[in-house]
Structure 1
Amino acid sequence: GFNLLARTSAQENVELPLLYRGESATQRREHARAALASVGLDGWGHHSPAELSGGQQQRVAIARALVTGPSLLLADEPTGNLDTERSREIMNLLTDLNRDKGITVVMVTHEADMAEYAHRVVRLVDGRIASDVRQAERQDGGGRA
């Protein structure tokens, strides 16, 4: 469910951190619309989570994380509940955010093909670092997270 509030629109879900921050309604709306647009959901703000696909719900959750302008994004299994095509879309979005906005993305995943998107892969076994590898740039034009 990506921790979205079911009875709340995508716009309102994205506005929530700004409400806690004390921003005005006008500022919240403006920043949430921009965050939704940045994840490819311009015009989808009035939809409830139930009206969105899994990939769109994940994008709303990412927009909610981005609306406060973080320099670091923590992503715990960001593609775990998505099909292959949606997973690639989310990974490309995360790598674009890293490349274009300079946001550091720290991702936890059990999926080796998703880990291939990263600049650096730290593999843990039994709570200990088993390997720490910096990877070469992707050849398919995709970004790196």
Structure 2
Amino acid sequence: MKQKVKILAIVAGFMVGPALSTSAMAQACCPSDGHTIAATTGLGQSMPPATNLAVDPAWRVYAFERDGVQYLQVNDANGLVRAAIGRISETTWVMPIGTDVNRITISASANDSSGTLIYRSGPIAIRALQTAQGNAWVFTTSEN
């Protein structure tokens, strides 16, 4: 009987251990905590090998980092690349990729709450706006 209990405890440990580590990983990568896990490849791809960090199911937001430069890419649910920015320290710029590249605004105003919030991590928030010309994007780069 003691042998069966010991085996069950070991099996339970193997089953619960990964669940706990997955939970810890989810907490470490959530968009709201300022600690996104960035991929090192895949920028510009429709299905990059990166975690979707969007809080709105209609969108996909991917974080990348390479050589000290951070990138955020927005795709729609079908994988079409819509917008992307690059960031080094406090300098942010629009990347020349995506179908909505001409409708991207970078705002330093923490009070900008127009549109639908799709991502927030640390000083960066991304909002989607519906316009007559199509989707527009506001990337806010300061803390609220």
Q: TM-score with structure 1 length normalisation?
A: 0.27
Flag the structure with larger Rg: 2
Greater share of residues in helix: 1
Greater share of residues in strand: 2
Q: TM-score with structure 2 length normalisation?
A: 0.27
Structure with more contact order per residue of length (Cα contacts < 8 Å, sep ≥ 6): 1
